[in-house]
Amino acid sequence: MTIYQKELLALVEQHYGTLSPEALCERLFEIGVLDHTLCKVLAVREYVAQAMAHGTRKVDAMWQASEHFCCTYEYIRKCVYYYTDVNLSGRKS
């Protein structure tokens, strides 16, 4: 961890250590620490990855994601192909 990451962790624990994960995320969004766009991208990418892990072809998984998230297929495509460094597991696509 970098010194900045350690300092942020200490501040979050000090100020928000008693919050539930949901309340903590809400608060971090409110103060501008979490990026809404990257969080949406992460949710889309993980949804597609999970569908593919269960045997769904990538294009079909992306269409399912567009229906699930009520957005265009083009937005899903952008999330999957443009934001390649946004993953929970750190894997590259």
Structure tokens at 73: 């297929």
| Count, residues in the chain | 93
CB-based burial label for 42 (10 Å; 0-12, 13-18, 19+)? middle
Does the pLDDT of residue 92 top 70, yes or no? no
88: DSSP letter: S
Q: What is the pLDDT of residues 21-77, one digit of tens each?
A: 999 999 999 999 898 999 999 999 999 999 999 999 999 999 999 999 999 999 999
Q: What is the pLDDT of residues 42-54, one digit of tens each?
A: 999 999 999 999 9
